């Protein structure tokens, strides 16, 4: 399994509601806006996601591209395979936020 860091930009005049729809679709596919550190969980930067999958970066990119295009006609997508992450200044997520931001709706 590989860990990926994914960033999506909705170019043009995207509004908050467009990003909210993107976040919902991404979370349903297990792309999360929080990352687990050694002692806590942290919020990622805007429209940045953490994803674990048995896939290549290009496969993840194509999946994210399709999700982003379902929300907005002009997205940009960046995917990197993260074998070592380091950060500073990210805000800690509470247990309630982690639960909310990592829950995946059951699919029929």
Query: Could you tell me the pLDDT band of residue 108, with boundaries at 50, 70 and 90?
Result: low
pLDDT bucket at 101, cuts 50 / 70 / 90: very high
For residue 71, the domain's CATH number is 3.30.70.2360
The pLDDT confidence band at residue 107, using thresholds 50, 70 and 90, is low
Domain count, the chain: 1
Strand-pair partners of 34: 43
pLDDT in tens, 1-39: 999 999 999 999 999 999 999 999 999 999 999 999 999
**What local confidence, expressed as pLDDT, does residue 16 receive?**
95
Residue 20 belongs to some domain of the structure: yes
The pLDDT of residue 106: 72
Reading the block at residue 61, the tokens are 């990119």
* C-beta separation of 105 from 55 below 8 A: no
- The reply to whether 108 falls in a domain is no
Stated as kind and residue range, the H or E segment containing 99 is: helix 95-102
And the tokens for 7?
A: 């960033």
pTM: 0.92
Q: Is residue 107 a part of any domain in this protein?
A: no
Position 18 in a domain: yes
CB contact at 8 A, 53 and 60: yes
Over residues 58-88, the pLDDT tens digits come to 999 999 999 999 999 999 999 999 888 999 9
Domain assignment of residue 26, given as a range: 2-102
């Amino acid at each position: 399994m590989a860990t990926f860091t994914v960033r999506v930009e909705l170019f043009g005049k995207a509004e908050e509601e467009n990003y909210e729809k993107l976040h919902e679709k991404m979370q349903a596919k297990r792309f999360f806006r929080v990352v687990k550190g050694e002692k806590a969980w942290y919020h990622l930067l805007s429209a940045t996601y953490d994803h674990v999958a048995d896939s290549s970066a290009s496969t993840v990119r194509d999946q994210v591209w399709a999700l982003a295009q379902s929300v907005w006609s002009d997205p940009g997508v960046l995917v990197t395979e993260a074998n070592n992450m380091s950060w500073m200044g990210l805000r800690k997520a509470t247990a309630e936020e982690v639960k909310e931001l990592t829950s995946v709706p059951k699919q029929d």
